[in-house]
Structure 1
């Protein structure tokens, strides 16, 4: 008989062991080795049996064992010291506390978080990145409140059918069996946040609190009894459902998330956020809730509240793939935000306008969550330098009057949390040989002096650990597919701890090309079975449950890996999660990545491998395009621009195989008299020394604090000062400029000194501009100048703002200035008028520009 309801009964710990609960309920244990050691010693066998999950450990440990530990003075001393260490970590000043004028608090919103395998609330890179962001923020002392949803079935567990087809299972999660506590009012009642729905319905959610070191994480859960059955299912699965279901998840995350923060700060006295960081469009509705708060609480108009809210908002886009952006039918959004459910402070027509693709090439029938996120944020960034460039092209229509290079989307390249992903043996080696790196993340050049034999010993140990665990997982996977024990003896010899090991693990959309390595199966077999320089490949990955194409790719790779001739050299390990990911990035010698360029936004798994002494073999995409230097791995040549995808795959697969055969395997197996691959080890040392300080999540979070959070807080304070006078003034100014802009025109441009100029000369430029109803202080008149290409388009131009030189009659104004001719060669210049206001972070913000009539044969775009 099956149980009709499942719940968790928590252990009552003996009084001397009560600090164990304090340790369990703070997820710092997921990256703190000493705390993990303590949990292991509670019951070593049980620790392994429960998958190293501290909550399950304390739930299943025998009372007699707890009684013995409660009387064990040595264990109690360790317990006391570990608990004291946590308290000091949570309260001592850190990097952030030494900064001045920093935001009092930052709210960080993400639909998923990869904190630990014991809290399965993630599906892939976005969630893992969000988890690493919180951990690094905690280590640095950055005051973040994180907001997400608690999915009662998390993301799916993956298995394979006998014919290799992906199967999904959604095991139920009981929050009481997770490292969570319920957020309660002072009188003990659970906090409820509410989001209005059509037909006088409400979506209610309780709020679970996780502690990620110093960072409180609020997870909203709609599975409460006062919801109707449909509403209870809103937070059932991560990225589950579609249409209404997905929209409700995002309304709860954004609108409900802001309300959860307000409740948490009211109850705990925590500082209110000054900056709101929105990851992807999923949480974009948080901006609407903040606008509503400002209209209701401070008497602002919608436009004024928009300026106040967006000044303190950062939006990060994580995908260069349009299909990865949530779009909803406009009529669906109108149904949830209009009609009887319409909030008079947030009119539905304003909501629809924020998500409208009303630019050339846009789809007028959809509501785009990323577009809304960008319109609600004053600062926008991609997650690598290349992704920033791709995003400027993707979303340039929002700033249609400007060249792509001027679209105000920057970039902060992602990073990874070393404490989570770096093997303990690597940390121990670094602590002995380069202690400054472990203690302060400085002195990375010292890695170049570490003895090669020690590095090779650690690398071999980690490779062997991966092989042993892969064999276990492989046996279990085949057993679930129906194989008998008699058929599984071959798994005991699958993989080899002394063979060059390549890892490939990620989500499985088509653009990541899981099966590119199989493009030439004959050549792949030859690589795997080479008698002198064999290669083995460990593969893992999940396809989205609705992605039939991705599932076919998995089936193809499983079919190939099941061939008796090669199955000891290539394996697919089901159920890719954080625990398996950690083993892979630690144990693989090479991390392979072959997406269609430029569709990889960042791709942080290769960073994790690099910190563990692995080398990257990747298409120049994401972070690798930015930091590959020719000595830290290998770049797979990319056949960009080919019309035929088949031909492109064929060429890039051949290049991949050629690199493995002619360079990667040669460097790995070329040994000196001591049996060490000297050239390989030089590359490993160079990789860690040069990439180490770049790929850390602490560097990433510092970049956000200094380049985004700090400026956003300053802008938000300026907007809010003197009863929001800044927001009121900016909104009125923008409204006036937009209304008057159609009359702004560049009427006359002339330059003196254009005849046979020499380097060092100056070009005098005079312009007459009709400002219509605007004043000279409302605009900047600029000369764009510099090198020109064969079409006379300016290439990476410089800009000079001209000075107003007096009226020219009928509302016209003269402007003048001198352009320096600092370089020889083809030179050109153009003139433009753009809006100018002290509160605008960039001139392109309004997307308005006035250009002179184009000379014959040129377009206005050439003059920008």
Structure 2
């Protein structure tokens, strides 16, 4: 038997028994599916030449970034969607820029869920099957906390994103699946966004209170800023308040805690903010703080995690300019800033475009702002890279569905969480319009993807409507709904389609980042003017709009659908088929104007300047 070294974890494996993957003309060998998928997601991370990685001691970390979910690795089911993807990209950019951050999240043994769709579009949810290992390391330290009067022991797994400059960043994934815990407590880190209110509150206790205690136990004693990525982690402020107050004292040092905390809100609707009845809080959390203190900080009737975070933070921000304004209207008593989201440029740029940028824009990996120089890229180079990215996407579609799509056909991508306000079915609301467009202009292919929350029946019904419409239109328009949308598929879709579509109901799109990912691959957007697109849209230059910029009147869905169809038929598809040079101009401008700005390097630098320092 011939042995080889796994490039991800460094283990020696026997080739005859190993899992394999092909890259750059050779075969690579892996000890597990986890390592194989990690490699395929970002081969250069494991093979590329980099400066030696720096190991920074815990005492040198000054910022703790708390998040309920984080998309760190395609093989690790520690995320469900946009919030987790943003967190993962944020941590990667912090590693690139060597910002002294430590990440804190939870480890989920059964993940969010794996989605399977039957031929009618009925969603079935299955647990994710995986074992922590490979790039994860179990730390030899535990902490304890009290839940429902029981002692719960918490352990931590460490994952270390390695930046393109060699910087390492520790991410602690908290876990209660230990033999000394009661069965119901071992399951607290099984499911992401699963269970009832009691389960959710217990998870947030593990994240916020357990996270602070774990940092202390591991020697992270010099944390200046605790950054809460949404309200799930707001209970950390209560632990900090306890720590800042002498034993037996009733003089709570709110100001000391407030100076150390930063809060980012992502939710533009009141119903989206976690709230818990005080009876439940007392039952699950116990007497960490007196009830009157909780009511003062988190609301009189229910513990509102967003209010708790707001009241205990020195800096609060939304995730786009419009979202900051909406949040200010929702919470008029608070000063709410905005820092527009971004995406990690290297992680979301497809291999063909990476190679193009490496040749033409040296230094873009460490300074994504230099992508503005894409304005000088040649038409042929841009188109060649796009065709390669599109080919890779269609190959994956064929592997998943056994359907061979047309490389030359105009292809639209729509991939979002399947919930009503995302309006995945707006494009299909008038099927005859699509048929006429195909007859007049040319072939059309549409790729959908996205999971509905297991309890979101309207979202599941929307998936069924899309699948049913696909059956009705199959003679004229090729429409596929790809199941189990995850990081690897997202990277292929955002890079490989010709147009990215986004149709949320305004003003419910806090930011959105999928169009930013598309922009890094020269894919323009057709989108409702909400979230980040209000800042990235220049009509006919970086893409096209649906609806008005103003919110003076309630959005008119039939009118938005008409505008969508008109722009497809009379502007967008004719440009693609009949004026290819003009189309590539839009691709080039999309990269130069949007990819150069809407990235997490710029975003993290804004946090450092406006919130951390």
| TM-score, length basis structure 1 | 0.65
Picking from 432, 457, 478, the partner of 1:548 is 457
Distance 1:695 1:597 in 2: 21
Residue 390 in 1 paired to residue 318 in 2?
Answer: no
Distance in 2, matches of 1:212 and 1:252, equals 23
Deviations 1:324-375 (A, max 9, x none): 21111222113334xxx324xx22321232110x5xxxxx3x2211111111
Q: Which deviations, in whole Å up to 9, do the C-alpha atoms of 1:25-69 show, x marking residues without a partner?
A: xxxxxxxxxx995997433xx799879325999xxxxxxxxxxxx
Contact 2:215/2:221 (CA < 8 Å) preserved in 1? no
- Alpha-carbon offset, residue 519 of structure 1: 1.4
Which of the residues 291, 294, 297 maps onto 1:351? 294
Partner residue in 2 for 1:147: 104
Once the two structures are overlaid, the 10-residue window that deviates more, 450-459 or 138-147, is 450-459
Partner of 1:225: 179
Cross-structure match for 2:406: 496
Q: TM-score, normalised by structure 2?
A: 0.90
Corresponding residue of 1:404 = none
Question: Of 116, 123, 126, which aligns to 1:166?
Answer: 123
Q: Deviations over 1:405-463 (max 9, x none)?
A: xx410011001001111011101111222224346435444322211012111112211
Query: 1-side partners of 2:562 and 2:331: how far apart?
Result: 34
Query: In the alignment, which residue of structure 2 is the partner of 1:106?
Result: 63
Question: Structure 2, unaligned stretches of length 5 or more?
Answer: 13-20, 163-167
Verify: 1:693 aligned to 2:596, yes or no: yes
Aligned to 1:367: 303
Q: Distance in 1 between matches of 2:473 and 2:24?
A: 43
From 176, 195, 201, give the equivalent of 1:247. Answer: 201
**Higher RCO structure (Cα 8 Å, ≥6 apart):** 2
The verdict on how the C-alpha distance between 1:38 and 1:656 changes in structure 2, with shifts beyond 3 A counting, is closer
Q: Distance in 2 between matches of 1:56 and 1:565?
A: 33
The 8 Å contact of residues 414 and 447 in structure 2, kept in 1 or not, is answered as yes
| CA deviations over 1:560-617 (Å, ceiling 9, x no partner) | 1234634862111000000100000110111111101111011000001001000011
- Structure 2: how far apart are the matches of 1:281 and 1:40? 46
SS of the residue 1:597 aligns to: coil
Matches within 5 A, 1:769-808: none
Q: What is the rounded CA distance, in whole Å, between the counterparts of 1:565 and 1:37 in structure 2?
A: 35
Q: Aligned partners of 2:607, 2:107: CA distance in 1, in Å?
A: 26
**Match of 1:241, SS?**
coil
- Measure the CA separation in 2 of the matches of 1:277 and 1:328: 22
- How far the C-alpha of 1:559 sits from its partner, in A, is 1.2
> Which of the numbers 659, 662, 665 marks the counterpart of 2:570?
662
Helix, strand or coil for the counterpart of 2:145?
strand
Q: 1:40 to 1:563 in 2, by over 3 A?
A: farther
Relative distance call for 1:445 and 1:132 in structure 2 (3 A) is closer
Q: CA distance change for structure 1 residues 243 and 439 in 2, over 3 Å: closer, same or farther?
A: closer
Shift in alpha-carbon separation, 1:120–1:563, aligned structure 2, 3 A: same
Matched, 1:446 2:382: no
Number of the residue aligned with 2:276: 328
- Indicate conservation of the 8 Å contact 1:108/1:145, yes or no: yes
Q: State how 1:124-203 maps to structure 2 within 5 Å.
A: 124-176=81-133, 178-184=134-140, 191-198=141-148, 200-203=149-152
Cα distance change on mapping 1:549 and 1:18 into 2, 3 Å: closer
Residue among 9, 33, 37 paired with 1:21: 9
Q: Could you tell me which residue of structure 1 aligns to residue 28 of structure 2?
A: 42
- Cα distance in 2 for residues equivalent to 1:36 and 1:106: 39
Residue 538 (str. 1) matches residue 486 (str. 2): no
| Contact kept in structure 2, 1:39 and 1:47, CA below 8 Å | no
Classify 1:653/1:432 alpha carbon distance in 2 versus 1 (closer, same or farther; 3 Å).
Answer: same
Quick check: 1:88 aligned with 2:15?
A: no
Gaps of 5+ in 1: 1-12, 25-34, 58-77, 93-102, 185-190, 359-363, 400-406, 476-490, 672-676, 711-864
The alignment of Structure 1 onto Structure 2 pairs a total of residues equal to: 594
Q: CA deviation at 1:296?
A: 4.1
Is residue 9 of structure 2 the alignment partner of residue 53 of structure 1? no
1:582 counterpart residue number:
491
**1:39 & 1:22 partners in 2: Cα distance?**
21
* Change in CA separation of 1:104 and 1:657 when aligned onto 2, cut-off 3 Å: same
